[in-house]
A = this chain, B = another copy of it.
Amino acid sequence: MELRQLQSLIKLIDCDFSVSKAAEEMFVVQSAVCQHLKKLEDELGADLFVRKGKRLTGLTAIGEQVASHARSTLASVNSIQAIGRDHINRNDGSLRIGCTHTQARYVLPPVIKAINHIYPKVEVQIHQGTPKQLVQWATNDELDLSICTEALAESSQLTNIPCYKWNRSLITLADHPLIELESIALDDLCRYPLVTYVHGFTGRGSFSQTFTAAGLEPHVVLSAADTDIIKTYVRERMGIGIIASMALDFGDDDICSRDVSHLFPWEITRIAYLNGKYLRQYEQRFIDLFLDTVAAAEDGKLHRLQ
């Protein structure tokens, strides 16, 4: 068995089973990829692909299993190469970070700035996606680090580091009656139209569960993946916003906020990477910087764990 063959297999899958496209991305001719695939099937003695005539359309059950292990093979090989690169030049390379909008917009900027200052030659890439995608990309070794609140902890293929906990704030325009209330209860929120995150994002799951558990039904008129959109529609008076507290911004002078962390469970944001992945010096440093930033943020937005 050869590593090239496994690379061809994985590239083929990532190219939607187009042999020509896979070949192009690997800088070889189609026939080479074709030979790799054939040899692999011959050696394993099993069909790996569902074929429609000559076209490849998908993986067989065995193909799925092989592909999964091939991914982990190539991930280990990548780690070995990363060790080498780290040794030759520990200040040069690329850092592929995956995160949600909330992280990219409100949490990461100081960290990115710091890492760029320390490692100016490292190319930092921010890949935005849904938590589900972030898990997928990290699992497929398309990302080095994934940062978000949901889904990361569930994957057994990822190692995750809990970073900070956060909770929610209510936002409205200044003249809203809720702002004047002495203490805000859960059913107060149900009396107004709400604008908050879509399912699968930024703690929306436990947000909904909190209401359900209390026998309440919130009236969510609009949900969005990112906080800026929520703010926009709060300004349009479509409803009151429930957002993650770290997304409060001192620049938003027209918006009033109230902490509602007594109503909802705390959420934990984590950094995750592929099990067993070798972390290059600057990757480890990024994680440390992220944790430092959290520890230094003493304004009640990001909360240290314990």
Contact = CB atoms under 8 A, between A and B. Distances in A.
Interface string A56-75: 00000010011001101100
Contact of A72 (B62, B70, B76): B76
A46 to B, nearest CB: 4
A70 B62 contact: no
A300 B77 CA distance: 49
A205 interface: no
Interface stretch (A22-30, A82-90, A194-202, A256-264): A82-90
Question: Which residue, A72, A73, A80, A87, has most C-beta atoms of chain B within 10 A?
Answer: A80
Nearest to A41: B84
Given A2-B3, A3-B2, A69 B83 contact: yes
Given A2-B3, A46-B88, A88-B45, A83 B62 contact: yes
B73 A69 contact: no
A278 B80 CA distance: 22
Interface residues of A, number: 27
A235 B44 CA distance: 56
A43 interface: yes
Contacts of A87: 44-46, 62
Interface in A269-284: 275-276, 278
- Would you call the interface of chain A mostly helix, strand, loop, or mixed? helix
Contact of A278 (B1, B69, B77, B276): B69
Interface in A85-140: 87-88
B88 A80 contact: no
A27 to B, nearest CB: 17
Contacts of A208: none
Given A69-B276, A275-B275, A44 B84 contact: yes
Given A3-B1, A76-B69, A76-B73, A84 B278 contact: no
A153 to B, nearest CB: 16
A81 interface: yes
A206 interface: no
Q: 3 closest pairs, A vs B, by CB?
A: A44-B84, A73-B76, A46-B87
Interface of A: 1-3, 6, 43-46, 62, 65-66, 69-70, 72-73, 76-77, 79-81, 83-84, 87-88, 275-276, 278
Given A1-B77, A69-B76, 10 more contacts: A2-B2, A43-B84, A44-B81, A44-B87, A69-B80, A69-B278, A70-B80, A72-B76, A73-B77, A76-B76
